[in-house]
């Protein structure tokens, strides 16, 4: 028998997790720290690996590893073969004898009931608990039963549910598993303790579920437990007075829970039991993996608004991306501070927040803050208003200087009037200045790494603040012209009708990007060989061929031309650290394939765009004719302003496009610097510079080795990237407030962001880089940014969980002429792919089609 096949539970302390698994490692650590843990032993992963190496095991494992990504059914099928192997392969005699002897030592010659539980290497992780994924066997009373239960724990590593869970979390396909055998507590009352509320996220509440007998009944859901909600001081907020736990026992649980949280440094999910003598035993403690990270704060409650949600990205920022967006937002600090936002952005594990407490508490600032955030990321504004009524956020005394509203800047009519009179010249001036500024960011072609870094440091501020530094009069005139026209038409035309004249807007770089991709797809469609190649080849393989220059000419040149103009863009592009399409064109090929499936003139975005522009002109005439002859002067002025506004509104997306071009130039320089640091063996990959900030890049160039630090940051970034959603508003106690009026079922409602009605099957998309949207499907997403908009070319409508009237996604949806409803809480969970829905972008309502045998 090998020395590490079986260990006493206390001996497992300090052993590598890949030897004893997560559960045993935690229990051993708890034992060493003096927590009351039942005695037992661990059948380590070395024993499991020995068993797996018998017979067909190695071949079956190799086949599982080779299953292609994105094929969960084949993965589950192959895992089933390993499950059967674990149940049937003979256990070596030496191992069988070792397990029996360990059980006999535990029982001291007398039959003793034990629990046999799995302890996988992929279990009780900070971001994946694997709760309930592996098997547990209770009340096992002899050696033969112990051997059978150990074997079944091994097999549970390959169950359907565990295999799918690992795939969903992007974890190791081929983990190992240890098994814990522990004395079974003769429980009089048992259950689960959460040191933070796992539902609301509130860190100031403790939850205890308890039931008579074994805790497995609570964990499995076999009984309805006593439910206690307490403060961290043990004060009862909710719970029965006649439950199985006495008040003193609840207090003991609260105290041990707080000790465990302090010991492990994070909120804990704890399984516990009181025996007949009233002794408390702990049988498990692990991180609560669903809690969203919260900025550290002390004192009175604080409220935060998510920069990620505001920017339309649902994954954390890279460290370099966070530092760049901080610089960008400093250019807006005066304006944002006047609305009640904190001066600086807070970073927690890549999730960025503004502290909005001052704005929430100010009666003067709150309405302006609410309107601002609602326009960008509904329903954040409603949540701000709701918090203003929350007694935890009392209003600041009226009349104070900080309560004074920001002074209104006088509109510079003398500059907007020329823009209305000569819109093309006004737009051209903005473009010329932008080109001059962007040219200054291109950097040296030949230089040392130190010189390149000095260049990046010298232009960083200008590049990050280009949006604020560009002339804004023409852009302002485009938006103001439409507003003034609406006022002139008021009483005869409503706002929704005015919005219909802003479809098919020219000169919007995001819309132009989408149409350029469509033209590339159309050229490829006319070449049968190229067309079939694109449809039959995986996007990652096409991307590799593009970078190698080996694709057919119509594809190679078409994609190269597209990347020359728009390769600076990407999904989540506001994060400087994210690869651009030039770096990795795989998403471009995925979108091209998507567009190649759209056939027929009715699916031609170029035609639809031109028709929308013609219809908008006709609509201007029709709306302004509603005014009576006595108001002819108003009708003429409104018609003039609407036409001029159309010619200028494309500038709405232009500053962001310029920012992306500047980012791409600086990224190129930093990646070259990264190559130099790799050669010096202080980073593993050039792109690792995106997990540093500029000051650290200089340290790395000098002498500091950042490989360990980057690996740790990457691990955190990858863990946080797997979170299913980002709350737009978060409180310092961890609570993500919900709208008081949120619908519990039936039809869904949100912000009417783009007029029109469309009915079709839903397509819920979490990653646009690999999405497939069939013509006529309705795109449902948590959020969108410009990198998503090529999907709009085939989508019939858009539904998002966040977004506002002036966010990038809704602006482009209006210009493409597809209905959009945004700010729909929980849309990606409440709508299923394939479900037929109707999106009314004029009313802001999503309705569900009746389906046979399916509740509405």
Catalytic sites, residue numbers: 808
Whether 29 and 62 have beta carbons less than 8 Å apart is answered as: no
Within 8 A by CB and 6+ apart from 526, the residues are 554
Q: How many other CB atoms are there within 10 angstroms of residue 160's CB atom?
A: 14
- Cα gap 556→550, rounded to integer Å: 8
Helices and strands of the chain, counted as H and E runs? 33, 23
Angle between helices 539-548 and 586-596 (to 10 degrees): 120
- Rounded CA gap, 753 and 816, in Å? 13
Distances (CA, A) of 732 to 140, 161, 299, 609, 750: 45, 35, 10, 46, 26
DSSP assignment of 301-346: --EEEEHHHHTT--SPPPHHHHHHHHHHHHTTHHHHHHTT--SS-E
Task: Give the full edge-to-edge strand order of the sheet including 346-348.
Answer: 346-348, 351-355, 303-306, 729-731
| Cβ–Cβ under 8 Å, residues 244 and 160 | no
Return the closest-CA partner of residue 726 out of 370, 291, 308. Answer: 308
766: which residues sit within 8 A by CB, 6+ positions away? 314, 781, 782, 828
Query: Using CB atoms within 10 A of its CB, is residue 301 exposed (0-12), middle (13-18) or buried (19+)?
Result: middle
User: What is d(CA 406, CA 22) in angstroms, rounded to the nearest whole number?
Assistant: 54
DSSP at 650:
G
Structure-token match 């085939």, residue found? 794
Residue 789: partners with Cβ closer than 8 Å, 6 or more residues away: 510, 511, 513, 514, 808, 809, 812, 816
| Spatial distance between the Cα atoms of 720 and 551, rounded to a whole number of angstroms | 36
658-690 burial code (b ≥16 CB/10 A, e <16): bbbbbbbbbbbbbbbbbebbbeeebbebbbbbb
From residue 138, give the alpha-carbon distance in Å to each of 135, 146, 208, 405, 740: 10, 10, 22, 65, 44
DSSP string across 345-378: -EEETTEEEEE-HHHHH-TTHHHHHHHHHHHHHT
CA-to-CA distance for 842 and 856, rounded, in angstroms?
A: 22
Give the other-Cβ count within 10 Å of 100's Cβ: 15
The enclosing H or E element of 782 equals: none
Is residue 808 reached through a cis peptide bond, with omega within 30 degrees of 0 on the bond before it? no
List the 177-183 sheet strands across, edge first. Answer: 6-8, 40-43, 177-183, 114-120, 136-140
HSE on the CB side for 97, CA within 13 Å? 5
Count other Cβ atoms within 10 Å, centred on residue 571.
Answer: 21
How distant is the alpha carbon of residue 721 from its chain centre?
A: 6
Partner residues linked to 207 by β-bridges: 194, 229
């Amino acid at each position: 028998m090998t020395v590490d096949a079986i260990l006493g539970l206390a001996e497992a302390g300090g052993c590598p997790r890949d030897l004893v698994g997560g559960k045993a490692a935690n229990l051993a650590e708890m034992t060493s720290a003096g927590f009351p843990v039942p005695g037992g032993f661990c059948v380590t992963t070395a024993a499991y690996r020995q068993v797996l190496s018998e017979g067909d095991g190695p071949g079956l494992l190799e086949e599982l590893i080779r299953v292609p990504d994105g094929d969960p059914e084949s993965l589950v099928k192959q895992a089933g073969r390993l499950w059967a192997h674990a149940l049937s392969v003979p256990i070596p005699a030496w191992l069988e004898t070792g397990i029996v002897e360990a059980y006999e030592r535990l029982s001291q010659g007398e039959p003793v009931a034990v629990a046999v539980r799995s302890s996988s290497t992929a279990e009780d992780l900070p971001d994946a608990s694997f709760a309930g994924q592996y098997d547990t066997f209770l009340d096992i009373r002899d050696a033969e039963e112990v051997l059978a239960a150990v074997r079944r724990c091994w097999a549970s590593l390959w169950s359907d549910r565990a295999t799918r869970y690992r795939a969903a979390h992007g974890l190791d396909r081929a983990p190992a598993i240890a098994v814990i055998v522990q004395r079974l507590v003769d429980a009089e009352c048992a259950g689960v303790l959460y040191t933070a509320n796992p539902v609301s996220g509130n860190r100031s509440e403790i939850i205890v579920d308890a039931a008579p007998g074994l805790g497995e009944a609570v964990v499995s859901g076999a009984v309805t437990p006593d439910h206690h909600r307490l403060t961290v001081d043990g004060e009862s907020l909710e719970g029965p007075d006649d439950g199985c736990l006495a008040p003193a026992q609840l207090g003991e649980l609260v105290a041990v829970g707080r000790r465990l949280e302090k010991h492990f440094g994070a909120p804990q999910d704890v399984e516990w039991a009181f025996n007949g003598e009233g002794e408390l035993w702990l049988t498990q403690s692990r991180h609560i993996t669903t809690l969203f990270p919260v900025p550290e704060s002390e004192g009175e409650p604080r409220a935060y608004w998510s920069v990620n949600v505001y920017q339309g990205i649902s994954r954390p920022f890279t460290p370099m991306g966070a530092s760049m967006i901080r610089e960008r937002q400093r250019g807006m600090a005066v304006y944002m501070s006047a609305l009640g936002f904190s001066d600086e952005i807070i970073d927690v594990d890549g999730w960025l927040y503004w502290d909005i407490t001052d704005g929430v508490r100010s009666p003067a600032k709150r309405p302006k803050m609410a309107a601002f955030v609602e326009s960008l990321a509904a329903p954040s504004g409603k949540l701000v208003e709701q918090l203003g009524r929350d007694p935890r956020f009392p209003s600041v005394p009226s009349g104070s200087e900080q309560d004074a509203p920001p002074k209104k800047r006088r509109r510079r009519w003398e500059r907007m009037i020329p823009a209305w009179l000569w819109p093309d010249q006004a737009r051209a001036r903005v473009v010329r200045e932008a080109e001059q500024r962007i040219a200054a960011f291109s950097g040296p072609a030949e230089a040392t790494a130190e010189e390149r870094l000095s260049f990046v440091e010298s232009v960083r501020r200008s590049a990050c603040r280009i949006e604020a530094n560009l002339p804004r009069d023409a852009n302002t005139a485009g938006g103001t012209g439409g507003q003034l026209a609406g006022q002139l038409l008021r009483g005869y035309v409503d706002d929704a009708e005015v919005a219909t004249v802003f479809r098919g807007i020219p000169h919007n770089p995001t819309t132009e990007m989408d149409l350029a991709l469509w033209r590339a797809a159309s050229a490829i469609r006319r070449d049968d060989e190229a067309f079939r190649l694109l449809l039959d080849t995986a996007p990652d393989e096409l991307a590799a061929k593009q970078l190698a220059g080996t694709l057919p000419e119509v594809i190679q040149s078409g994609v190269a031309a597209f990347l020359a103009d728009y390769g600076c863009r990407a999904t989540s592009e506001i994060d400087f650290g994210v690869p651009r399409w030039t770096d990795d064109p795989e998403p471009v090929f995925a979108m091209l394939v998507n567009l190649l499936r759209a056939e027929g003139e009715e699916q031609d975005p170029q035609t639809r765009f031109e028709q929308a522009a013609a219809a908008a002109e006709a609509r201007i005439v029709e709306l302004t004719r509603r005014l009576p002859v006595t108001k002819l002067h108003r009708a003429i002025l409104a018609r003039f302003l609407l036409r001029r506004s159309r010619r200028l509104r494309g500038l709405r997306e232009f500053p962001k496009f310029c920012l992306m071009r500047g980012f791409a130039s600086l990224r190129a320089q930093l990646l070259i610097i990264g190559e130099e640091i790799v050669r010096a063996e202080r980073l593993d990959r050039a792109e690792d510079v995106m997990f540093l900030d500029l000051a650290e890049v200089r340290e790395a160039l000098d002498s500091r080795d950042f490989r360990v630090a980057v690996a740790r940051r990457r691990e955190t970034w990858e863990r946080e990237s797997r979170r299913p959603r980002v709350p737009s508003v978060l409180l310092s106690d961890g609570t993500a407030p919900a709208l008081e009026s949120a619908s519990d079922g039936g039809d869904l409602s949100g912000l009417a962001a783009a007029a029109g009605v469309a009915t079709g099957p839903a397509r819920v998309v979490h990653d646009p880089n690999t999405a497939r949207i069939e013509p006529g499907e309705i795109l449902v997403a948590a959020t969108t940014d410009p990198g998503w908009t090529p999907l709009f070319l085939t989508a019939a409508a858009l539904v998002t969980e966040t977004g506002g009237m002036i966010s990038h996604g809704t602006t482009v949806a209006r210009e493409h002429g597809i209905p959009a409803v945004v700010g729909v809480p929980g849309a990606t969970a409440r709508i299923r792919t394939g479900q037929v829905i109707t999106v009314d972008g004029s009313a802001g309502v999503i309705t569900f089609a009746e389906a046979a045998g399916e509740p509405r």
